[in-house]
Amino acid sequence: MAKQQAIEQTGIVLESLPNVMFRVQLDSNGMIILCQSSGKMRQNFIKVIVGDKVKVEMSPYDLTRGRIVARL
């Protein structure tokens, strides 16, 4: 069975939580999801703060969680 593609969207960081977790509000539908920073962003010490515009990758199976891929 083939792996399904991740859904990419943009959003704004609303809140910073412990353990590199963030609450992000999506631009397209205004939904608030729980995101964590991706491995490459942690590796390269890219900081994300409240108010930043970010690109989020979500699994088609769970649309309430995501991974922050880039800071825009």
pLDDT (0 to 100) of residue 4 = 85
- 54 beta partners: 11, 71
How far apart are alpha carbons 70 and 64 in whole angstroms?
A: 18
> Band of the pLDDT at 34, cuts 50, 70, 90?
very high
pTM exceeds 0.85 for this model: yes
CATH of 7-71, one of 3.30.1370.10, 3.10.105.10, 2.30.30.90, 2.40.50.140: 2.40.50.140
Domain range summary for the chain, segments of one domain joined by +: 7-71
CA distances in angstroms from 7 to 16, 19, 51, 52, 65, listed in the order given: 22, 23, 22, 20, 11
Q: What is the pLDDT of residue 14?
A: 98
